[in-house]
Chain A
Amino acid sequence: MMLDPQLDADGNLIHLLSTEGLSREQLTRLLDTGASFLGVSDRDVKKVPLLRGKSVFNLFFENSTRTRTTFEIAAKRLSADVINLNMSTSSTAKGETLLDTVDNLCAMHADMFVVRHESSGAPHLIVDHLRRTGRSDIHVINAGDGRHGHPTQGLLDMYTIRHYKGGFEGLKVALIGDILHSRVARSDIHALKTLGAESIRVVGPQTLIPTDIESLGVEVHRDLDSGLKDCDVVIALRLQRERMSGALLPSATEFHDRYGLTHERLKAAKPDAIVMHPGPMNRGVEIDSAVADSPRAVILPQVTFGIAMRMAVMSVLAGG
């Protein structure tokens, strides 16, 4: 069997690259640990000394203010030192390769890399490089790579669902909109499968749904009403217009008419269904303001839980 790149020889989680391949026990342990950290952010001193003296490097090759900020807050609440590198304006722009950048940061005694990259697999490449060069004591967290995955977002979504629904058994979950470009969708689908959700639907226009997505064990719906029917959890995805080249979509208005979440359309879901969104939202496109600002929307709690989950991931990786 091929060695899981996320695990060390003893089976401990030392990198987080994907929610795929994590066992139910590992996912549950991460969620439980996240619950422990939730209270830290409510205290006067919002800090615990777990990662005191450790250096966490945020390597963002692609802009993302929210994800970078929540990782920075999480690391600082664990007492780590955080160095933010905006790679689009740094040596990479001058021609340095990814692995040369990594080697240089290792020479600065980095303990953890948080990596966001436009290419799928970039964090995996860094893990392989660290293993080959005997520096597996440095931990890597994937903060979003291409269309592949965004595992900490997947974990915070699972935390949010468990918080509001109590568990995963019997749950019907719909992911709506731009599945094609969404690494969040992939991370959510793998985690939901492992945690035992009953039904996972992806809903959107044919052009925005990957052709082989059924192989992940999801139902494909082209029609929003059938996709939402009796759902417990509705996850709206951001329409990633900046990634769209060619004629994937007639117009944002037409998308909203067919797939935008409104109170009217949500009547197909269960009355107590929660609405989630990974942010940033396009109000009036994938979600109506009236829905986004309603009590059933748990979009801001997702952000709060995201900090606790990122603290949990960093602590579990660093603690082995």
Chain B
Amino acid sequence: MPDLKNLPDAEQQIAALAEQLRPVFEKAPDTVLIGVFTGGVWIAERLSQLLPSHPPVGSVDISFYRDDFSERGLRPNVQPTTVPVDIVGKPVILVDDVLYTGRTTRAALNELFDYGRPGSVQLAVLADRGERQLPIAADFCVWPVSLQSDASLVLVRTPVDDSEGKLTWSLDDA
């Protein structure tokens, strides 16, 4: 279990993730970053600033594609999905804050394909909690971490409305 008081610095992790991704964008400059709401979008925006080519950033809200809709219903204020460029045939890096069961990634892939057929999709995450329920793996990951199943690890931004706001980890050890 990680030390609750000393969670890693998310901003430093994003810089490390950008270094992992740099060769991808050098090889294929038309690669698009697509963040998964909300943490993944914040990370994708930071990555775009950090990468020399400043790649375009899109965002997906997977609420309409969840596999637990009939049990949990729809949460209000679903954010609009925006795909800023035509992704058909292009390499896509899907960005999320935490990879856990893999269900969010599954939903995000389904939604992405409703916008077109990307040339390839790779997954970049800050944290990988393991415990997958689907055959999904991260291509780029900074922080493999093992947590209790009822713990909730989320990225927060302070202040939340400020795109320059500081990103930090919050662990709710239920």
Choose among A33, A36, A44 the residue that contacts B115 (Cβ–Cβ < 8 A). Answer: A44
Q: Are A319 and B72 in contact (CB under 8 A)?
A: yes
Q: Are B76 and A315 in contact (CB under 8 A)?
A: no
Q: Are B69 and A36 in contact (CB under 8 A)?
A: no
Distance of A319 Cα from B78 Cα, bound (Å) = 14
| Chain A 11-50 near chain B by CB (<8 Å), digits 1 or 0 | 0100000000000000001001100101110011101111
Choose among A32, A36, A316 the residue that contacts B80 (Cβ–Cβ < 8 A). Answer: A36
Q: Are B64 and A50 in contact (CB under 8 A)?
A: yes
Distance of A113 Cα from B80 Cα, bound (Å) = 28
- CB B107 to nearest CB in A, in angstroms, measures 9
- CB B99 to nearest CB in A, in angstroms, measures 22
| Chain B 73-101 near chain A by CB (<8 Å), digits 1 or 0 | 11011111100000000000000000000
| Chain A 296-320 near chain B by CB (<8 Å), digits 1 or 0 | 0000000000000000000110111
Max chain A Cβ within 10 angstroms of own Cβ: one of B72, B73, B76, B77 = B76
Choose among A29, A44, A47, A48 the residue that contacts B76 (Cβ–Cβ < 8 A). Answer: A29
Distance of A40 Cα from B64 Cα, bound (Å) = 10
Distance of A48 Cα from B114 Cα, bound (Å) = 9
- CB A91 to nearest CB in B, in angstroms, measures 31
Distance of A315 Cα from B61 Cα, bound (Å) = 16
Q: Are B114 and A36 in contact (CB under 8 A)?
A: no
Distance of A43 Cα from B70 Cα, bound (Å) = 24
Q: Are B73 and A319 in contact (CB under 8 A)?
A: yes
- CB B111 to nearest CB in A, in angstroms, measures 8
Distance of A152 Cα from B94 Cα, bound (Å) = 37
Contacts of B65 in A (CB 8 A): 48-49
Q: Are A318 and B77 in contact (CB under 8 A)?
A: no
Distance of A47 Cα from B65 Cα, bound (Å) = 10
Contacts of A39 in B (CB 8 A): 80-81
B144 CB within 8 Å of chain A: no
B110 CB within 8 Å of chain A: yes
Q: Are B74 and A32 in contact (CB under 8 A)?
A: no
Q: Are A44 and B114 in contact (CB under 8 A)?
A: yes
Closest residue to A46 on the B side, CB-wise?
B114
Contacts of A44 in B (CB 8 A): 114-116
Q: Are B114 and A43 in contact (CB under 8 A)?
A: yes
Q: Are B110 and A49 in contact (CB under 8 A)?
A: yes
Distance of A316 Cα from B115 Cα, bound (Å) = 25
Distance of A36 Cα from B79 Cα, bound (Å) = 6
Choose among A29, A38, A49, A318 the residue that contacts B64 (Cβ–Cβ < 8 A). Answer: A49
Q: Are A48 and B64 in contact (CB under 8 A)?
A: yes
| Chain B 134-171 near chain A by CB (<8 Å), digits 1 or 0 | 00000000000000000000000000000000000000
Distance of A320 Cα from B68 Cα, bound (Å) = 12
B63 CB within 8 Å of chain A: yes
Q: Are A45 and B115 in contact (CB under 8 A)?
A: yes
Distance of A318 Cα from B71 Cα, bound (Å) = 10
- CB A66 to nearest CB in B, in angstroms, measures 25
Contacts of B80 in A (CB 8 A): 36, 38-39
Contacts of B81 in A (CB 8 A): 39
Closest residue to B63 on the A side, CB-wise?
A36
Distance of A12 Cα from B74 Cα, bound (Å) = 12
- CB A292 to nearest CB in B, in angstroms, measures 30
- CB A211 to nearest CB in B, in angstroms, measures 39
Q: Are A50 and B115 in contact (CB under 8 A)?
A: no
Choose among B70, B72, B78, B110 the residue that contacts A36 (Cβ–Cβ < 8 A). Answer: B78
Closest residue to A54 on the B side, CB-wise?
B70
- CB A140 to nearest CB in B, in angstroms, measures 18
Contacts of B79 in A (CB 8 A): 36
Distance of A36 Cα from B75 Cα, bound (Å) = 10
Known contacts A12-B73, A32-B77, A318-B69; can you find 6 more A-B pairs with CB under 8 A?
A29-B76, A36-B61, A36-B64, A38-B80, A44-B115, A47-B114
Q: Lowest 3 A-B CB distances belong to which pairs?
A: A319-B73, A36-B78, A48-B64
Chain B positions near chain A (C-beta within 8 angstroms):
61, 63-65, 69-70, 72-74, 76-81, 110-111, 114-116
